[in-house]
Amino acid sequence: MITQLPILQVVIPLIAAPLMVLLRHGTAAWLLAVGVSWASLAIALGLLSEVAGGGLVSYALGSWPPPWGIEYRVDSVNAYLAVIVSMVAAVVVVYMRRSVAEEVPQEHHYLFYSMYALCLAGLLGIALTGDGFNMFVFFEISSLATYVLIALGRDRRALMAAYQYLIMGTIGATFFVIGVGLLYLMTGTLNLADMAARLPDVTDPRPVLAALAFITVGVSLKLALFPLHLWLPNAYAYAPSAVTAFLAATATKVSVYVLLRFYFSVFGETAVFRALPTGSILLALSLAAVFVASVVAIFQGNVKRMFAYSSVAQIGYITLGVSFDSATGLTAGIVHLFNHALTKGALFLLLGGIALRAAAMRFDDLRGMGRLMPLTSFGIVLGGLSLIGVPGTVGFVSKWYLVVAALEQGAWWIAFLVVAGSLLALAYVWRFVEAAYFHAPDPKMAAGPGEAPLSMLVPAWLMIAACVYFGLDTGLTLGGAGEAAQVLLKGKW
Amino acid sequence: MYEIGSSLALHPGVFLMAGAIVIALTRGAIRNALALLAPLATLYLVWQVPDGTAATVRFLDFELAPLAGGRLSRLFAVVFAIMAGGGALYSLKQEHRLELAAALFYAGAAIGVVFAGDLITVFVFWELMAIGSTLVIWSAGTPAAYRASLRYLMIHLLGGALLMAGIAGHVAQTGSIAFEGLSTNAPSHWLILAGFLLNAGAPPLSAWLPDAYPRASWSGMVFLSAFTTKTAVYVLLRGFPGTEVLVYVGLFMAFYGIVYALLENDMRRLLAYSIVNQAGVMVAGIGLGTETALNGVAAHAFASVPYTALLLMAAGAVLYRTGKRECGSLGGLARSMPVTALCGIVGALSISAFPYTSGFVSKTMISQAAADGHLLWVWLLLAAASVGAVLTAGMKFCWFVFFHRDSGLRPPDAPRSMQLAMILFAASCIGVGIYPDPLYAALPYPVHYQPYTGAHVVAKLQLLLFAVLVFFLLLGWLKPARTITLDVDWLYRVFGPWLAASVLHGLALLGGRGEQRLRQAMDAAWKGLQRHHGPEGILARTWPTGSMALWMMLLLLAYLLFYYL
């Protein structure tokens, strides 16, 4: 059983998706989705404990030994990521019941859950597979499911957002597959570990460099790195609330993992960061992401879109950590994967509660929310504090390590910019506080039903509580991230 | 993990903060009972804290010591817990539900600071204290209080930023987060000192205190008077004993407090200035740095919490019954509010360091330390400062509110719960004054000081008589008038905006071109920001799909270019 964990992680949601279509029943599909998500979390935790301390689990699909067959290859980096994805899934799936019932037409429910299971299968597949082409296939599975999920939003602009994401995502995936194809051409293998072993023997470096460029740009789009983030704000703003929360917490994180895997485990740290200016470009783009997206967020009129732009900025912090190419920097980036998944997931879940009550998500519609929905509003404030990086929240842990990593390199100005970025976050979080706490509520709203239903509040607050808990007890998250960073820097997969 | 959890649950500060949150969520009799019991339970927990580090928590790469006991910590924590209990009793009549909870949270955070064994814990509780106290001011519910609470928060966030920067620098240099004697030999330590002093009400930003505190409600200011400045005294005592610059800073504060209090008409603003005056004496004592001086400072901090609170309780009771704050429109209230007046007088005697009050047994220790060190000018200035304290908080407040001419007001005396709180605090002031030995036994160093010697008592009485004489001689001049006193806060409240406006105006007078240009430049900058980042700006609008694809191509080309070159 233990040896089958890697494949079970992917196959369970993958099989559940068509089953849900066959069931043709919303509630049954939801129950199945709950079971699948929780099972995924259990499996992911099992895998993480299996590889703890530098272990490696290799699973040959269909007993075809690698490099001929497809291999699932799990170390502490992707086990950590699978835990992030399945943890968010396990929380969000409980929340989905009420939120989806309100936002998606009844007849689409079973399809919605089916798409959700496919998306989960795709994301976990990307995380666990050790095969370049298989990774592309899972990229497509998760992306196609995502386009449908976004298009199910009740706002008519959701369709346009999904369409744009479809076009852009397809270009991104094409770039990725071109890169993988070039590598296949030069090395004759699709197995990533095998590829890494053969790359040093390649005599003509030009196609390899082209492959690196294609993969970098393709994945940068998927992870919404500035200036390729343009699909993200609308997709997040107009998708159903539960979808936004799930995607914001998982999809971009998985893409960051793919980038890390290719940089450190396939091409090798020396080739990517020492011989090429990748680090400097990534640094420049990350800082631009932090500042441009934060300032744009300050001026947004729609609170969901504001937090979407904040996601772009936070992704900038993650890639900033990666760009340092040091153990501390990588630890900061990887721990921020986890921390930002928690924070943004919680924030979008809470906003979903507001979406049930308010007419729209403009700041004018949020007036007096502090009084009407005290728990929801206070949760958003706590999540906002984590975005700012206030001590006692997970956001502080990430920022602290980023600053330490910057100082290690003697880059005082970057440390200063990280802190300045927090001030911008303070500005946009304050806009919510002002609308929610310093204005009288709309009398029409005041007569409304008030606080969000418990089935939505409890999952959201669970994540907020985790934001505070992991902000204080950093052993688990930092330990995992530190180990992942060590494994990546070792280079061998 | 379990052990850490249980020992932190027994952290008196955390316990009180958790209690405050429960109190915020309950109402009626349960809330009142909890509000009185929580500080008592906290007091019990304070006594249970052993000496040395009682709990450690790993955070990032550091071993934090959130709960570390010691003689000095216990002394401050005890008086803070007592203050929280007395204040809760006093403010049971307060109708704003948030205030008491915020105040107890604030008190819990202050206790957290005094039990902190490392700098990061100090910082965390320091910021929680700022939040709690801001909420206390905000709870007054008036627009003026709201604006004042924002100014207050800004100043304290600035202080927090200074402190954080200092701590980060200290950690970067030494790799240690232990909170022990810091010297002023490094820029990071200067930053920490600045952060601490800001909370003590030191120049140049002393004005936050008299600006914000009097705008709190009648009960809110009682709490505010106790914690922020006294925790600042505590951290200075622990971090910077014997730092010479503190002598000058402290004496400046003492005189600043007196001068402004003499000019002040609002009774609670007057008392706010005398808080600065008292804190100044303590800061100066820390600067002296001898054992007697540090003992004196600790004793004086312990003694000053109840009597300052007592004065503010009396003032609060007057405000509660009459709704008036200016000394000029009050007077003769002793007749109809005898208990309040009596308790106010006990507070006034204590702050004047009258023999057989708590002020006498503590304040004279600091003067004695100056005398022992043969610092004549410090001794003289301290003596002058205490004359000033008698004149302002002692005489001016009591005389103009409770005696002087009859204002015709006949309010009933304070409600029972408020009377009880005042009587308890008055009794403690006199109790400590008559029997100071337990207080002396609790001080950080062994005490070789005898308060009731003939020389001390006679010297003090002479000083007091002189002060009273001066007061009545100057009575006509001291009469409260409707004046506005200017302080540093005026610079950022009024002068800053005016300066900006008048620069524009001045430019207009210079021919209109300059102003136009400046306006144009500002408009252009704003428009540029809007054009790029605004809701419909280039970076915020929804792009056509084609141009998104174009960006991808550009980025790919850029990467290829960089890689091939």
**Which chain B residues in 475-534 lie under 8 Å from chain A, judged by CB atoms?**
529-530, 533-534
Q: Among A160, A215, A217, pick the best mutation site for testing chain B contact (most B Cβ within 10 A).
A: A217
pLDDT bracket for residue B511 (50, 70, 90): low
How far apart CA B349 and CA B365 sit, in angstroms, is 17
| Alpha carbon distances (Å) from A416 to A188, A399, A406, A420, B60 | 46, 11, 9, 6, 20
Is B535's pLDDT higher than 80? no
Residues of B with Cβ-Cβ distance to A468 under 8 angstroms: none
A236: in domain? yes
Residues of B with Cβ-Cβ distance to A295 under 8 angstroms: 529, 533
Indicate the residue among A276, A304, A337 that finishes a domain. Answer: A276
Beta-strand ranges (E) seen in B306-357 are: none
**A245 and A288 housed in the same domain:** no
Q: In three state form, how does the secondary structure of A126-195 look?
A: HHHECEHHHHHHHHHHHHHHHHHHHHCCCCCHHHHHHHHHHHHHHHHHHHHHHHHHHHHHHHCCCEHHHH
Considering chain B, what percentage of its residues have pLDDT values greater than 90? 36
Task: Answer yes or no: do A397 and B60 touch at CB < 8 A.
Answer: yes
**A271 and A285 housed in the same domain:** no
Who contacts B404 (Cβ-Cβ below 8 Å, separation ≥6)?
B331, B332
A55: in domain? yes
pLDDT of residue B151: 86
**A264 and A283 housed in the same domain:** no
**A353 and A431 housed in the same domain:** yes
**A151 and A29 housed in the same domain:** yes
Who contacts B565 (Cβ-Cβ below 8 Å, separation ≥6)?
none
A308: in domain? yes
User: What's the pLDDT tens digit per position in B326-354?
Assistant: 887 888 888 889 999 999 999 999 998 88
How far apart CA A250 and CA A255 sit, in angstroms, is 9
Is B400's pLDDT higher than 80? yes
Instruction: Note down the domain range covering A52.
Output: 1-276
Q: Which of A24-28, A133-137, A227-231 has the highest mean pLDDT?
A: A133-137
Lowest mean pLDDT among A177-191, A294-308, B372-386: B372-386
Is B132's pLDDT higher than 60? yes
pLDDT of residue A127: 93
Of A217, A234, A295, the CB nearest to B552: A217
Residue B172 sits at the chain A interface (C-beta within 8 Å): yes
How far apart CA B36 and CA B13 sit, in angstroms, is 16
How far apart CA A383 and CA B474 sit, in angstroms, is 58
- Kindly write down the DSSP assignment for every residue of B481-536, as one continuous string: -S-----HHHIIIIIHHHHHHHHHHHHHHTTSHHHHHHHHHHHHHHHHHHHHHSTT
Q: How many structural domains is chain A composed of?
A: 2
User: What's the pLDDT tens digit per position in A193-211?
Assistant: 999 988 888 888 889 999 9
**A256 and A318 housed in the same domain:** no
pLDDT of residue B3: 47
Is B53's pLDDT higher than 80? yes
Lowest mean pLDDT among A55-64, A276-285, B483-492: B483-492
How far apart CA A160 and CA B167 sit, in angstroms, is 50
**A198 and A84 housed in the same domain:** yes
Is B6's pLDDT higher than 60? no
Task: Answer yes or no: do A300 and B57 touch at CB < 8 A.
Answer: no
Q: What is the mean pLDDT of chain A?
A: 90
A493: in domain? no
Model-level pTM?
A: 0.77
A11: in domain? yes
**Which chain A residues in 233-272 lie under 8 Å from chain B, judged by CB atoms?**
233-234
**A292 and A265 housed in the same domain:** no
- Kindly write down the DSSP assignment for every residue of B31-53, as one continuous string: HHHHHHHHHHHHHHHHHHPPBEE
**A291 and A147 housed in the same domain:** no
Q: How far is A482 from chain B (nearest CA, A)?
A: 12
**A388 and A470 housed in the same domain:** yes
DSSP B330: -
3-class DSSP state of A58: strand
pLDDT of residue B546: 82
pLDDT bracket for residue A462 (50, 70, 90): very high
Is B379's pLDDT higher than 80? yes
How far apart CA B314 and CA B422 sit, in angstroms, is 8
Who contacts B439 (Cβ-Cβ below 8 Å, separation ≥6)?
B299, B302, B303, B361, B362, B432
Residues of A with Cβ-Cβ distance to B559 under 8 angstroms: 212-213, 216-217, 281
Q: What is the mean pLDDT of residues A327-350?
A: 93
pLDDT of residue B2: 38
User: What's the pLDDT tens digit per position in A358-390?
Assistant: 877 888 888 888 888 888 999 999 999 999 988
**A30 and A6 housed in the same domain:** yes
Residue B540 sits at the chain A interface (C-beta within 8 Å): yes
Q: Based on the number of CB atoms within 10 Å of its own CB, is A346 exposed (0-12), middle (13-18) or buried (19 or more)?
A: buried
pLDDT of residue B522: 82
Indicate the residue among A214, A249, A276 that finishes a domain. Answer: A276
My answer on whether omega of the bond before B12 falls inside 30° of 0, hence cis, is no
Beta-strand ranges (E) seen in A364-424 are: none
A7: in domain? yes
Is B1's pLDDT higher than 60? no
Strand pairing class (B62-69; B52-59): antiparallel
Chain centroid, CA A140 distance in Å: 16
**A52 and A74 housed in the same domain:** yes
User: What's the pLDDT tens digit per position in B90-107?
Assistant: 999 888 888 999 999 999
Give the closest residue to B232 by CA, choosing from B264, B192, B273. Answer: B192
Q: Which residue has the tokens 């370049």?
A: A132
pLDDT of residue A128: 93
Lowest mean pLDDT among A87-101, A331-345, B412-426, B533-547: B533-547
Residue B555 sits at the chain A interface (C-beta within 8 Å): yes
Is B144's pLDDT higher than 60? yes
A397: in domain? yes
Whole-angstrom distance between the N-terminal and C-terminal Cα of chain A? 24
**A118 or B534: which leads in pLDDT:** A118
Residue A300 sits at the chain B interface (C-beta within 8 Å): yes
How far apart CA B312 and CA B314 sit, in angstroms, is 5
B80 contacts B107 by C-beta, under 8 angstroms: yes
B60 sits in the region (left: phi over 0; alpha: psi -120 to 50; else beta) called: left
Lowest mean pLDDT among A79-93, B57-71, B362-376, B474-488: B474-488
Indicate the residue among A276, A301, A332 that finishes a domain. Answer: A276
Q: Which own/partner pairs from B373-381 qualify as long-range (CB within 8 Å, at least 24 positions apart)?
A: B373/B288, B373/B290, B373/B293, B375/B288, B378/B247, B378/B251, B378/B284, B378/B288, B381/B251, B381/B254, B381/B255
pLDDT of residue A466: 93
How far apart CA A109 and CA A56 sit, in angstroms, is 39
pLDDT of residue B502: 78
Who contacts A98 (Cβ-Cβ below 8 Å, separation ≥6)?
A356, A453, A455, A456
Q: What is the mean pLDDT of residues A223-229?
A: 89
